[in-house]
Chain A
Amino acid sequence: MADEGGLWICELCGYVYDPAEGDADGGIAPGAKFQEIPDNWSCPVCGARKDDFSPLDD
């Protein structure tokens, strides 16, 4: 099970969601865990759906 506060990567374009940064243009405040993001949020780089992200392993 992925750490809920960890990094998530878009499998399609390589964008990495970092909870420490959030996604200001997407309406996501810093500190928001990936699981807390609304389902209709999309990748800021390629427009992929939230379902296209997976936990980023170090």
Chain B
Amino acid sequence: MIAGYEHFAALARRLQWDEAAIDLRPDADAWPGVDPQRRARLLALLAGFCVGETSVAEELGPFGDAAGDPNAVACFRAQEGDERRHAAFFDRVVADVAGVPGHDERERLAAVRGLLPADFLELFEQRLPAVARDLGAGRTGLERAVGLYHMVLEGVVFTAGQFAVLELLEDAPELTGIREGVELVLRDERWHVGFGTRCLQDADLGPGALEAVVREGTAAARVWSDVVGDAVADRVVAMLHRRLSAVRPRRETVH
């Protein structure tokens, strides 16, 4: 079973952090000396987070509008703030550490999106906006949107990317600011995913709907292409299976 919305609302209030307070100067100094192949993979992952976090921050509004429980609404609003903070952090990294050119976030996004596979861009720039539009227009339910956002995009794509970044940083310990920020982002994502899991538990999805989420998540684990290794992709898919088993069947509520 999963904690209730009140628990997540309190957790969200407690886990606030300031992306501007993370010191990226050591990372900027060390970046030119990082192994070129490692640097290229890191930059592709950072590009994915710039595009992905910006998209989820922009598309989360209808989720809160569709939630009935006031604590669930508060959780969705808190998540919006988290995603904006994550997008701002990754923009700082590509600008101040990797030296991506651009006068503002939009220009830097345009500069890095070329590093990403078409399937990745389709997921965040077309599929998520389409589901958010359908949710806002009442053409789809909150559980369908949460299945995509929390289970697939956060629970699979972002988690795989975060694991891959942390794996790369094991051999680049001088990139201390990136590590600190990614670990804080990962901590936020864990409560987001727990909250989404609780939403799905309350939606009481049937086996067919849960299986559809698994299929979508399994495909999404590969959208990073070879930037994320097979072992990490397989690991996040296994986590998705286990997570969805935790909401099946419906269980007693804990507030």
Q: Which residues of A contact B (CB under 8 A)?
A: 7, 9-10, 12-16, 18, 21, 24-26, 44-48, 56
Count CB-based A-B contacts (< 8 Å). 61
Expressed in whole angstroms, the Cα–Cα distance for A51 and B100 within the complex equals 39
Ordered by A's residue number, 10 sampled pairs between the chains whose C-beta atoms are within 8 Å are: A9-B254, A12-B191, A14-B8, A14-B11, A15-B194, A16-B254, A18-B1, A21-B251, A25-B241, A45-B197
- List, in ascending order, chain A residues with CB within 8 A of B8's CB: 14
- List, in ascending order, chain B residues with CB within 8 A of A21's CB: 1, 251
| B219 on interface, CB distance cutoff 8 Å | no
Q: Which residues of B contact A (CB under 8 A)?
A: 1-3, 7-8, 11, 187, 190-191, 193-195, 197-198, 239, 241-243, 245-246, 251, 254
- List, in ascending order, chain B residues with CB within 8 A of A7's CB: 254
A45 touches B243 (CB 8 A): yes
Best-surrounded residue of A18, A21, A45 (most CB of chain B within 10 A)? A45
A44 touches B242 (CB 8 A): yes
Give which listed residue, B11, B187, B246, contacts A15 with CB less than 8 A: B246
A14 touches B198 (CB 8 A): yes
- List, in ascending order, chain B residues with CB within 8 A of A56's CB: 254
Q: Take A25-B245, A56-B254 as given contacts and tell me if A46 and B2 are in contact as well, using a CB distance cutoff of 8 Å.
A: no
Given contacts A12-B190, A14-B198, A15-B194, 18 further A-B contacts (CB under 8 A): A12-B187, A12-B191, A13-B197, A14-B7, A14-B8, A14-B11, A15-B3, A15-B246, A16-B1, A16-B3, A21-B1, A25-B246, A44-B246, A45-B2, A45-B243, A46-B194, A48-B190, A56-B254
B82 to chain A, nearest CB (A): 14
B3 touches A45 (CB 8 A): no
Give which listed residue, A14, A44, A47, contacts B191 with CB less than 8 A: A14
